[in-house]
Structure 1
Amino acid sequence: MLYTISEAAVKMRLTPYTLRYYDREGLIPFVERSAGGVRMFKEKDFGWIRLIECMKATGMPIKEIKQFVDWYMEGNSTLQLRRDMFYERKELVEEQIESLQKTLDTIKYKCWFYDTAVAAGTTSVPKNMKPEDMPDEIRQLKGKIDL
């Protein structure tokens, strides 16, 4: 089945503008065109677009995504380069996850802190609470964060 750019955009939850941009930047060079120049997307193209979106979600610049596409188009001689690129991305995403987990831990602690303060009518209750009087999860969170 073939999809127009509008149909492909709906299917991918993107805008036609985004797909045109990807095409202009050389990120989807394999998308076929009709005799009249209309882009025609196939089912297999959507997996590639999902990969582009995944790389973008890691913060990878379009220029680096384009480099990956170029290496892909070159074939097996670039396997190591493409593999290395994904290992670098993996490391970066793992660091981002760790950072976000610390942020989430802080927010969870602060939610407990303010729930406790609101219930008591003062921040002095959670501020002065002994660790052994805190719920286990909160005590563990407090031990992980610098507050």
Structure 2
Amino acid sequence: MNIDEASKEMQVSKSTLRYWESAELIPKVAKNKSGYRVYSEKELNWIFYIKCLRKAGMPIGKLREFVNLYRSSSNKSKRKNLLIEQKNTLLKQKREVEKTLNYLSYKIDNFDTHMLNYENEKLAYKQKIKI
């Protein structure tokens, strides 16, 4: 599979695929006689994995650390801890998004009554008060 096909199938830009390869996040991709990259199932699996971790918000530095630990087959607990840390970060972000969604839902559900009160306050302010 060439880079164009891999890019479309994995929904990742060609420049991102080149970057991930140069950053050693995915294995070196073999090249054909013409010098074009030829992606195998192995590279596609790595692309899928890196894409998932990036979607999870894992920074490139931690990704490099994770991939290096994976390739060296050492320190499985450290790899697992990196995944746990990222999961906890995502859960915290999820809680914040849920709080924001709850607030927006409240504002939407009560929009008309809140706006009516605001308009009444404005009218009362503009009216002359007799003393």
Under a length normalisation based on structure 1, what TM-score does the superposition of the two structures give? 0.71
Q: Which amino acid aligns with 2:11?
A: R
Name segments (4+ residues, structure 1) moved above 3 Å.
none
Structure 1 gap ranges (5+): 125-147
Identity %, equivalent residues: 31
What is the CA–CA distance in structure 2 between the aligned matches of 1:123 and 1:56, rounded to whole Å?
46
Match of 2:22 in 1: 24
Of 72, 75, 95, 1:74 maps to 72
What is the CA–CA distance in structure 2 between the aligned matches of 1:49 and 1:123, rounded to whole Å?
54
CA separation of 1:80/1:37 partners in 2, compared to 1, >3 Å: closer, same or farther? farther
Structure of higher CA gyration radius: 2
Write out aligned runs for 1:1-147 (5 A).
3-75=1-73, 77-114=74-111, 116-117=112-113, 122-123=116-117
What is the CA–CA distance in structure 2 between the aligned matches of 1:123 and 1:41, rounded to whole Å?
63
Under a length normalisation based on structure 2, what TM-score does the superposition of the two structures give? 0.79
What is the CA–CA distance in structure 2 between the aligned matches of 1:38 and 1:63, rounded to whole Å?
28
Structure 1 residue 15, shift from structure 2 partner: 1.1
The alignment's C-alpha RMSD in Å is: 2.1
Structure 1 residue 39, shift from structure 2 partner: 1.7
Structure 1 residue 32, shift from structure 2 partner: 2.6
Aligned residue pairs total: 119
Question: Which whole-Å deviations, capped at 9, do the CAs of 1:43-92 have from their partners, x for residues lacking one?
Answer: 343232122122212322112111111111101x2211111111111111
What is the CA–CA distance in structure 1 between the aligned matches of 2:51 and 2:63, rounded to whole Å?
10
Aligned to 1:122, what secondary structure does the other structure show?
helix
